[in-house]
Amino acid sequence: MSPTLARLWCIPDRPPSNPGCFIIPSYALVNGTTPTAPTRAQIDLAIAWRRRFPGAVLIMSTGDNQRLGVTNAWVMADYARARGVPRPYLIQEDNSLNTFENLLYSRRLVQRLGLSQPTLVTLDLYTRRAVATAEKMGWDDVRWLSVYSHGQPAYGRKWLQTHSRGTILVYEVLAMALSKVAGWA
């Protein structure tokens, strides 16, 4: 994939100044215990930012959208726990099956818990669609951080979607178009 093409698609970060939480929508899982490289990169970035803001919680967002018998949120939280994030600072939003639901259900958690300045933590190629969806939902003062990652094949039907940077970009362009048709972005 051309770096120029990726640069044209990606949008610059809008970092938080005082985040109460970081929302990490799962990109995918390799299997029932391992997040893909893009999802691990998202979690690692959120953990790095949480070190700067130790009171912030991490909201791991995605249900069992790959039919693995375990939610992505659980696998992501387990990964973060293994990297030192205390359990009370991990929240699992485990009902969502797509980006729209990730942001809808995570926003409800943010509102219910009274968390300030929610910040999306996304794969750079996915950021444009996630931010457009959040803005369409009416999120105030959307903040986001994005991370570069190589692709990695995921379990099941997500195998090709996450296979490489090129397939991720093609997927995201198509998903953005479908999101606009559906009225989500």
Residue 75 lies in a domain: yes
By the 8 A CB rule, do 147 and 42 touch? Answer: yes
User: In the chain, how long is the greatest CA-to-CA distance?
Assistant: 42
Residue 132 lies in a domain: yes
Residue 1 lies in a domain: no
Residue 50 lies in a domain: yes
Give dist(CA 136, CA 184) in Å, integer.
7
Give dist(CA 90, CA 85) in Å, integer.
7
Where in the sequence is the domain holding 38, given as residue range(s)? 18-182
Residue 9 lies in a domain: no
CATH number where 150 lies: 3.40.50.620
> What is the 3-class SS of the chain, one letter each residue?
CCHHHHHHHCCCCECCCCCCEEEEECCCECCCCCECHHHHHHHHHHHHHHHHCCCCEEEEECCCCCCCCCCHHHHHHHHHHHCCCCHHHEEEECCCCCHHHHHHHHHHHHHHHCCCCEEEEEEHHHHHHHHHHHHHHCCCCCEEEEECCCCCCCCHHHCCCCCCHHHHHHHHHHHHHHHHHHCCC
* Residue 166, burial from CB neighbour count under 10 angstroms (0-12, 13-18, 19+): middle
Give dist(CA 59, CA 109) in Å, integer.
9
Q: Provide the whole-model pTM.
A: 0.95
Output the pLDDT for position 175. 94
- Tens-of-pLDDT digits for all 185 residues of the chain? 556 667 789 999 999 999 999 999 998 999 999 999 999 999 999 999 999 999 999 999 999 999 999 999 999 999 999 999 999 999 999 999 999 999 999 999 999 999 999 999 999 999 999 999 999 999 989 999 999 999 999 998 888 889 999 999 999 999 999 999 999 98
Residue 3 lies in a domain: no
Residue 4 lies in a domain: no
Q: How many domains does the chain have?
A: 1
Backbone angles phi, psi at 160, to 5 degrees: -70, -40
Residue 12 lies in a domain: no
